Structure 1
């Protein structure tokens, strides 16, 4: 495998999480061995908790997002608790399947599930109020469709489309938007969306797909249309406008107006 391919593989969050777990286990084994030389014994639960803390710290140093840190922290202690509770084996399979259905994009596209906060939604509403109505808006990876539904209710003359490929999230978003006439959800990859049909494209992805998305937007989006990214910038492409949010992980909205048209 080439060096570039190896680096691309290591950027996968699930592999970094596994690496963090493995390193934490190795450190704990060494520590337990050293403590065994002294008259000090750790309980099995204490060992599991220590391994979880180390895995979370290592995962943080490897650049994993916050929700991966919680998974690393709880993984081994949860296994221990479940084993002692003697739960049926099918529960493990069910839990794994549910995680897979929610985090499908994290495994395939290196895009974890990020949900836009209240302040981001308010700032988006302010931005869209500057556009002439009716407008067409697409959320590239709409998650549970919370942001999309809020905007559709706020701008009833607009048309709002969300695309999602995580199966469980798609079903949930589709059900939420069933009764909202100007809002629809598609089971579709963001790379298959024809951006030329939209006035505004919004995304809350990760740093990995942003260069490719910028190339797609430059090719497809019309003059005067907007690409808006929550938090994640495009390398070497300064945004035309930046709106500060400062809400948890979400720090700002970045807006690019396509093909040099003047921003209102």
Structure 2
């Protein structure tokens, strides 16, 4: 039950990791003070707390970007406390982080950015569909990948959906001058997948089973669901493309039934 709860609300798991790590470090400091004359520096204690919080976060099932946040949070506060920085700056940083990662609270989807190598491979997959297709990026973030693909395939139509307010604003502004690309402030769960030939997502493990049910109910036979790195539980992809990057990414592709359709069978005719 706790694992399921933390998968749905990762911020709660991160908070728990911070509190537990702080309690452990506090207990260690009390022991050191009582048993020896050594007094560790505050930054050293903060680094130890960060390491413990990151380790606990990993154990609790948090995504890698949360590990780094847990690691840096207390040391960052300690470093900033010695600088002449206005208090509102910390509030602004928190608000910006929240606006960029709003999806992690409700939809269990943090902000992930598609790497350049993954983008190139994705472009090769899209080329198999000809020139005319409809593509949606579920959770497009600031739309870097979406816009790059829209420029490469000017005859195709591209849509990005996003509900993190700051990410949406950035994506919407960037897409204004790209005529074949549109950004919607819309949840992926309210997006009708029947409108698209290719559905791309870079989400998290948590929503993949539910997304698969939605895709099966809405997507047309022969259309493709492409996931960056995250699998659908108990449903092997028809194509798995391993990518040699630092986070060991992969592209997983499912062709929607009626099927036994091969990639060649599902390719859209050019023009």
TM-score under structure 1 length normalisation:
0.94
Find out whether 1:163 has 2:161 as its counterpart. Answer: yes
Helix, strand or coil for the counterpart of 1:233? coil
Q: CA deviation at 1:69?
A: 1.6
CA offset digits 1:231-264 (Å, max 9, x no partner): 0000111111111113222521000000113321
- Aligned equivalent of 1:38: 36
Helix, strand or coil for the counterpart of 2:137? strand
Distance across 1 between alignment mates of 2:211 and 2:6: 21
Helix, strand or coil for the counterpart of 1:247? coil
- On the 8 A contact 1:177/1:183 being kept in 2, the answer is yes
- Aligned equivalent of 1:8: 4
Distance across 2 between alignment mates of 1:249 and 1:133: 31
Helix, strand or coil for the counterpart of 2:110? coil
CA offset digits 1:61-94 (Å, max 9, x no partner): 2232222122111111222233332532222221
Find out whether 1:79 has 2:77 as its counterpart. Answer: yes
Residue of 186, 189, 192 corresponding to 1:188: 186
Distance across 2 between alignment mates of 1:88 and 1:64: 31
CA offset digits 1:3-26 (Å, max 9, x no partner): 5xx543222221111111111111
Distance across 2 between alignment mates of 1:219 and 1:188: 19
- Aligned equivalent of 2:107: 109
- On the 8 A contact 2:3/2:61 being kept in 1, the answer is no
Distance across 2 between alignment mates of 1:26 and 1:161: 47
- Aligned equivalent of 1:220: 218
Q: Return 5+ residue gaps in structure 2 as ranges.
A: 265-271
Residue of 62, 66, 69 corresponding to 2:64: 66
- On the 8 A contact 1:161/1:184 being kept in 2, the answer is yes
Distance across 1 between alignment mates of 2:122 and 2:43: 46
- On the 8 A contact 1:230/1:250 being kept in 2, the answer is no
Q: Return 5+ residue gaps in structure 1 as ranges.
A: none
Q: CA deviation at 1:51?
A: 1.0
- Aligned equivalent of 1:140: 138
Helix, strand or coil for the counterpart of 2:82? helix
- On the 8 A contact 1:196/1:220 being kept in 2, the answer is yes
CA offset digits 1:137-187 (Å, max 9, x no partner): 000000111111111111110000000000000111111111111111111
237-246 or 43-52: which moved more?
Answer: 43-52
Distance across 2 between alignment mates of 1:10 and 1:42: 33
77-86 or 199-208: which moved more?
Answer: 77-86
- Aligned equivalent of 2:21: 24
Distance across 1 between alignment mates of 2:222 and 2:64: 35
- Aligned equivalent of 1:150: 148
Moved over 3 A (4+): none
Distance across 2 between alignment mates of 1:89 and 1:252: 42
Distance across 2 between alignment mates of 1:255 and 1:68: 27
Distance across 1 between alignment mates of 2:175 and 2:28: 52
